[in-house]
Amino acid sequence: MRRPLRAHGYRTAAAVALACALTAATQQVARADPMTLTEVRAELQRLYHDAEVATDKYNAVDVQVTEQEKRVRTLNAQVKAAETRLTGLTSLAGAAARAQYRSGGLPAEVQFALASDPEHALDNASLARQAQQSTQDVLAALAATRKDLRTRTADASDVLTRLKKNRRTMDADRKTIEQHIATAKKMESSLAAKQREQLAALEAKTAKDAQAKWVGTGILKKVGTDATAAGKKAIAYATRQLGKPYVWGDEGPDSFDCSGLTSQAWLAAGVTIPRTSELQWAQLKHVPVADMRPGDLIIYFSDASHVALYIGDGEIISAPRPGRVVYVSPAGSMEILGVVRPDA
């Protein structure tokens, strides 16, 4: 999940909204009755969802910076290679000109007139002119290429500078989100033991009910049950990560966010996919939910802010949110936006 956050006004408004939601949720915890716990759960979900959206934006811009740095390095290397070649060809052209000068520097027509073998002289003169023209053409083309590469490098460097500026701006947003997450964790831990049990039971019941409704549509009778060879490798990788903590912005090996887990799982299967859930939704092949198979990715929520790896039998492996670990959960426990297939 990575991408630049919007304008400063948006970030300020979002921060104020989160702070207000958090204050309201804290006040609700203080009252602590069953209905209040329902409201607290809703506020926590909104808080973590907003944090996940911000994570996706941050991850996206971080990926853009990394890719742009690679482009700049590649262009710089190409400029250097072009300059080295141009220097070498220029030196060779100069050496050829000096050699021609030492031979007398006579025009080809004069050499033809004085030659004992006019036909051979004509051949030599024609080849010499062709060689000279070819050398000049190559030098001109290479000089143009060098100029173009320098322009492209300068443009790419400007883009990189802007992206890095965006990332620096987002560092402050990252700290704000981390503070919100810490506050949310503190709010959860401040609940009495019985309240925490009730909250956990409420979450479990909500997930179970959502899954039952999803399964009740008969969807599991339609979906595929066999993963491809690559899909099996992705599932095996994700399975090995069970129990590792969610840390936003991480992609292993010790901790993951949701898209960090899915992108690394498929990378282990030999398939490179976008880093963020939003880009996975935007760029990978969409398949109908009824046609999905183990190894496919399920994208959640209308803003594509969460993603999980479908492993079959109506279950997913995902890195859910801060304070949780990579785990197996019901595929229908959250709002499904759609399904994408990395190895289509």
CATH number at residue 77: 1.10.287
Indicate if 182 and 141 belong to the same structural domain: yes
Task: Sheet containing 315-318: give its strands across.
Answer: 285-287, 336-341, 297-300, 306-312, 315-318, 327-330
> What CATH number should be reported for the domain holding residue 313?
3.90.1720.10
Q: How far apart are CA 334 and CA 328, in angstroms?
A: 13
Q: Is residue 2 part of a domain?
A: no
Domain count, the chain: 2
Q: What's the CA gap between 248 and 251, in Å, rounded?
A: 9
**Contact by Cβ (8 Å): 55, 257:** yes
What pLDDT tens digit does each residue of the chain (344 aa) get?
443 333 333 333 334 343 444 444 444 444 444 447 777 777 777 777 777 777 777 777 777 777 777 777 787 787 777 777 767 767 666 665 565 555 554 445 444 444 455 555 555 555 556 656 666 776 677 777 778 777 877 777 777 777 777 766 666 667 777 777 777 777 777 777 788 788 888 888 989 999 999 999 999 999 999 999 999 999 999 999 999 999 878 899 999 999 999 999 999 999 999 999 999 999 999 999 999 999 999 999 999 999 999 999 999 999 998 888 999 999 999 999 999 999 98
170 plus 261 within the same structural domain: no
Report the SS3 class of residue 273. Answer: coil
Cα torsion 180, 185, 190, 195 to 10°: value is: 120
pTM of the model: 0.59
- Contact between residue 339 and residue 306 where contact means Cβ atoms under 8 Å apart: no
| Cα–Cα distance, 254 to 61 (Å, whole number) | 22
Does any domain span residue 3?
A: no
Residues spanned by the domain of 312: 193-341
The reply to whether 23 and 165 lie within a common domain is: yes
Q: Do 213 and 295 fall within a single domain?
A: yes
Do 149 and 137 lie in one domain? The reply is yes
Whether residues 172 and 198 fall in one domain: no
Same domain, 331 and 282: yes
Fill in the amino acid letter for 79.
V
Pair (51, 185) in one structural domain: yes
pLDDT at residue number 1:
44
- State whether 42 and 92 are in the same domain: yes
What is the spatial distance between Cα 69 and Cα 66, in angstroms, rounded to a whole number? 5
Q: Is the link from the previous residue into 4 a cis peptide, with omega within 30 of 0?
A: no
Quote the strand ranges of the chain, DSSP E.
Answer: 285-287, 297-300, 306-312, 315-318, 327-330, 336-341
Predicted confidence at residue 8, as pLDDT, reads 36
CA distance 262 to 304: 14
Is there a contact between 239 and 317 (Cβ–Cβ < 8 Å)? yes
